[in-house]
Chain A
Amino acid sequence: MSTLSQEAPQASNVPVADWFDHTFLYDDPLKISQRMRQEGHEIMYIPMFHMHFTCSTALGRAIWNDPKNWCNLRGEIPLTKAIGPNLMFKRGEEHAKERAAIMPSLRPKTVQEAWEPVFRRHAAELIDKLIEHGPGVDLNEHFAVPYAARNLAAIAGLNEVPWQDVAKWSHAFIKAAQNQLDDPSLWPPAEEARNGVDAAIDVATPRLKANPDASMLSSLVNGPSQIPLDVIRGSIRLGVAGAMNEPQHAILHGLWALERHPEQKARLLKDPTLFPQAFAEVMRWLPPITAVPREAMNPVTVHGIDFKPGQIVVVQISGANRDPKEFEDPDTFNILRKPRPDFSFGGGEHLCAGIWITRATVQIAWKMLYERLEGLRVIEPEHTPWFGFVYRGIEKLPVTWDAVRAA
């Protein structure tokens, strides 16, 4: 984020968060929003990033709902350096065209008809393996990672490569995408991941042209309009980068949050109709992606602040999802809360295309895990380690259970 070069990155009249230092990069970013609220500010300027951060849902929404004046970042940022050009950094018709080319694979109807059976099969196979490992197994390594990676490989259409490669590429992209401090060791794995994805596309394309399926690559190569190879690569790389971390972490965050709230866990397991609400609340309370930026394209005033072109506002997602003006008792985890639009999947034209996929993968995983493993619980949830700044999540979650139910 330090590569931005605009001359006056700070909007006038926005207070400076002079307390922000690099230690925040290794901590829970929710602390930024908590500090801002303590000081009575809904937006502050962070000199280290040359960006404003906001924890206000209303302010964030005003920006995201105004595509004429705000776009995704235009300068080079770690994410674009990591995965190369892709639709996330395009706008208007160009973006809409590329988005439309992948959406047939990601719409709710496709998710239900084509993908849910695949997700169930993957979950069932992996739960069998969990049972072989026995109580004490790390649910991240032995379920969340392989489940998310196998689902992702299928959705992307990269059937010819082992899921381990897809997982490795996705992690390399995510690590490089949040390499704000420009650690040189993180760029070569991202390059290897780009090359790996591109080679996998080359291998899969003839198969999908001969036998189209519901995958993203199939939609791209068999769609009504001719899509250039660089666009295909950008879209699939973005899918590989984005579609693993989020479901992987959401699955773990949900099990962890429920463990910390046993009454709600018991209620959910008694009434499975609450799963969609539980999913919405887990995403609000513990969002796997914690920061989403927008850049002003024109002079624009939002909530009385005059922004100049090139100035950037980052919505601090975990903070905005706990905005007391938007959510009653916002710090409390409550699966009975009526779902409201939050920022966990972004918003506006760049709303996460995988929103329906993620809703399905995560809820299927929770339901099948709790169904098969009677008494499933997290071991010592009070000691669970969390990692990451922009992409934040649980990386190790040992679990145990009392008995195994038949599949």
Chain B
Amino acid sequence: MTKIIYVTSDGASTTVDAEDGSNVMQTALDNNVPGIIGQCGGGMICATCHVYVPPEFADLLGPVGTEENDMLEVVTTGRRPNSRLSCQITIKPELNGLTVNIPESQY
């Protein structure tokens, strides 16, 4: 199990024991974490699982793919250099302690 910490825009924090091989979006839905909608189930269609990730995890997450990049262009809360779609972050042991910040709105 890998610990993932979700922090909403009002500062509320939820820590979840995530299943390796799942992803940060699905883990949020499975654990009723507020603020991540994940309307398309990870198909990179909806852009409603936007999160901000800390820079120190950037290397572990790998680069933003072309499709993810296109979808990040249409997120409703401002894209930043550390913006990611949480459906594209696969849970693995190295991500233990990853804190993702959830934007105010996904829609």
Chain A residues close to B by CB (< 8 Å): 64-67, 96, 99, 103, 106-109, 339-341, 345, 347-351, 353, 355-356
Give min CB distance, A305 to chain B, whole Å. Answer: 17
Question: How many pairs of A and B residues are in contact by the CB < 8 Å rule?
Answer: 56
13 contacts between A and B (CB under 8 A): A65-B30, A67-B41, A96-B43, A109-B70, A341-B106, A341-B107, A347-B40, A348-B40, A349-B42, A349-B43, A351-B43, A353-B43, A353-B45
A340 to B34 CA separation, bound complex (whole angstroms): 13
Q: Which residues of A contact B44 (CB under 8 A)?
A: 103
Q: Give 1 or 0 for each of B63-101: 1 = CB within 8 Å of chain A CB.
A: 000010011011000000000000000000000000000
Given contacts A347-B39, A349-B41, contact A65 B71 (CB under 8 A): no
Q: How far is the CB of B30 from chain A (nearest CB, A)?
A: 8
Residue of A99, A108, A109, A356 touching B43 (CB-CB under 8 A) = A99
Residues of chain A contacted by B45 (CB below 8 angstroms): 103, 106-107, 351, 353, 355-356
Binary interface encoding of chain B residues 32-57 relative to chain A, with 1 for a CB under 8 A from any of its CBs, else 0: 00000111111111111000000000
CA distance in complex: A345, B48 (Å): 14
Which residue of chain B has the shortest Cβ distance to A64 in the bound complex?
B41
- B60 interface residue, CB < 8 Å from A? no
Give residues in B with beta carbon < 8 Å to A. Answer: 29-30, 37-48, 67, 70-71, 73-74, 106-107
When the two chains form their complex, are residues A103 and B67 in contact, meaning their CB atoms are under 8 A apart?
yes
CB contact under 8 A between A341 and B42, given known A103-B67, A109-B73? no
Q: How far is the CA of A348 from the CA of B26 in the complex (A)?
A: 10
Contacts of A340 in B (CB 8 A): 107
B107 adjacent to A339 (CB under 8 Å): yes
Nearest CB of A to B9, in Å: 15
* CB <8 Å contact, A341 and B37: yes
CB contacts (< 8 Å) of A351 on chain B: these are: 39-41, 43, 45-46
Residues A108 and B41 in contact, CB atoms below 8 Å apart:
no
> Are A349's CB and B40's CB within 8 A?
yes
A65 touches B46 (CB 8 A): no
User: Which of B45, B47, B67 has the most chain A CB atoms closer than 10 A to its own CB?
Assistant: B45
State A349–B42 Cα separation when bound (angstroms): 7
- A315: min CB distance to chain B, Å: 14
Partner of B29, one of A65, A99, A108, A350: A65
A349 to B38, CA, bound (A): 10
Docked complex Cα distance between A99 and B70 (Å): 16
A130, B106: Cα distance in complex, Å: 39
- Contact at A65–B41, with CB atoms within 8 Å? yes
The chain B residue sitting closest to A109, CB to CB, is B70
Residue of B nearest to A340 (CB): B107
A107-B67, A107-B70, A107-B71 known; A347-B41 Cβ under 8 A: yes
Q: Considering the complex of A and B, which 5 residue pairs feature the smallest CB-CB distances, nearest first?
A: A349-B41, A348-B41, A351-B40, A65-B29, A109-B70
Q: Residues of B contacting A65 with CB < 8 Å?
A: 29-30, 38, 41
